[in-house]
Amino acid sequence: MSRALGGFDDVASDTRARVVAEANRLSYRPNATARRLRSGRTEAIGVILPNRPGHFDDAFFMQLLGGIGMHLAKRDLDLLVTCAPRGDDEMRVLRRLVEGRRVDGFIIGRTRRRDERIGYLLDRGVPFVAHGRTEETRSYAYLDLDGHAAFAEATRRLIGFGHRRIGLLNAPDSYMFAHHREAGWRAALNAAGLPPGPLRAAEPTEENGVRLANEMLAERERPTALLCATDRLAVGALHALTSAGLRIGNDMSLIGHDNLPASCFTSPALTTMDQMLDRAAERLVEMLADLLDGADPATQRELWKPRLLARDSDGPCPDELCRIADNQPTSLNAWETSKQISGGRDDQEFPPG
C-alpha cells in the first residue's frame, strides 16, 4: 500500500487506483513521521519575523503569514514561525533552524540592502524565496513589488493635483523597499522640475508616523502632501495631522503603501499602493515548492507592477498653498503629463503584472 500511495513507478496504474480508492473509503492517511523519515524532509517551511520574541503584532506580516500558511497547508506542509530582532539574535535563530534541519526551506521577508540572511542561505544551499530584493549579486529567488514605480506614480498623482512640496515619511534606507520607494519619489519630482520635499525616516510603526508627521508640520514651509513608505506610517501620520486640525484630502494629502485592511477604515479612507498580499502569499509558496523540487532559483524571480487604490485621503492642493508654491520653477511639460496620467479621477487602478 505504501508504494502505491507514494507514487512509485513499479506499481501498476490500475493497482494504484484501487489502493487509492480503498484508502479514501477508509479515510486512511499515511503516517506523517514515517513519510518524513523516508523522504528526508521535515515538511515544514520557516519564517522568522523581524520583531522582538513574542511580538506577532505587525499587520503586514500577519496578513502575509495567513496566506502563506493556508497555501502551505494545501500542499501538506507546515509553517514554523518565530520572532527575532534583526542582527545577531536573528542570525542565531536562522542558524539553529538550518543546522538542526528543522525546516526544508524559508520565506524571507523585509529584505535589507545588504542582507546577511540571504548570504548565509546561499552559502549553505538552503532553498528560500525572498519577499523583496537585495544588493546580493548571486542569483536567488524573489518576488517583489516595483517600489520605484509605485512611488513615482504616487508622486506624479500628487503633482497632477497641483502639489509642489511633497514630503516623504520613509523607513530606514537599510531596507531595500525604502531605498526603492525613495528613489521613485525623487525621480518623479526631478522629472517635473521640482526639488525633493522634506524627508524623515524611522522604523515603520504608527508611533513613528505620528512623530515624523509632527516634525514635518514644524517645517518653516510645511509640505502640502505626504507620501508614506507603509500604511502603518500613514495611519500614524493621519492621527498627527488631524490632531493638528488639518482636513486630510483637503488641507493635506496623504498616500500610503501596502493596502492593509485598516487603510479602508481610517477617516478618511487611505489612498494607498496595493501589495496584493493574498496573491503574493500564494505565489511565494508556489515558487518555494518549485525550488524544493529542484527548480533553478534564476527562474523564480518576479517583479510585479504596482496598483494604486485611490480613496479619499488625497486631492487638489489648497489654492492659497498652490499659489505660494507656483512661485517656484517647474517643468510645464512634466506637469501637464502628470495631470493627464492622474486625470483627477478617484477610481484609478494600475493592474498587477
Tens-digit pLDDT profile for residues 319-334: 766 655 555 443 333 3
For position 27, what pLDDT does the model report?
63
User: What pLDDT is attached to residue 29?
Assistant: 59
- The pLDDT assigned to 2 comes to 53
Local structure of residue 218 (DSSP, 8 states)? T
Tell me the pLDDT of the chain (353 aa) as tens digits.
Answer: 555 555 556 667 777 677 667 767 766 655 444 444 445 579 999 999 987 666 667 889 999 999 999 999 999 999 999 999 888 999 999 999 999 999 999 999 999 999 999 999 999 999 999 999 999 999 999 999 999 999 999 999 999 999 999 999 999 999 999 999 999 999 999 999 999 999 999 999 999 999 999 999 999 999 999 999 999 999 999 999 999 999 999 999 999 999 999 999 999 999 999 999 999 999 999 999 999 999 999 999 999 998 999 999 999 998 766 655 555 443 333 333 333 333 333 333 333 33
The residue with cell 522634506 is 198
List where CATH 3.40.50.2300 sits in the chain: 30-145+278-304, 147-274+307-342
Instruction: Give the ranges where the chain is alpha helix by DSSP (H).
Output: 2-5, 13-25, 32-39, 59-73, 88-99, 116-124, 147-160, 176-191, 206-217, 231-243, 277-292, 319-325, 332-342
- Separation between Cα atoms, residue 70 and residue 276, nearest integer Å: 16
pLDDT of residue 30: 55
Q: What is the pLDDT of residue 334?
A: 34
* Residue type, position 139, single letter: S
pLDDT at 341: 35
Can you identify the CATH homologous superfamily of domain 30-145+278-304?
A: Response regulator (3.40.50.2300)
| Pairwise CA distance, residues 335 & 194, whole Å | 10
Could you please state the CATH topology (level 3) that the domain comprising 147-274+307-342 is classified under: Rossmann fold (3.40.50)
Residue 201 pLDDT: 98
325: phi then psi, degrees, rounded to nearest 5: -70, -30
Cα angle for residues 118, 102, 294 (degrees, 5° grid): 60
Pairing of strands 253-255, 301-304: unpaired
User: pTM of this prediction?
Assistant: 0.81
CB 248 within 8 A of CB 313: yes
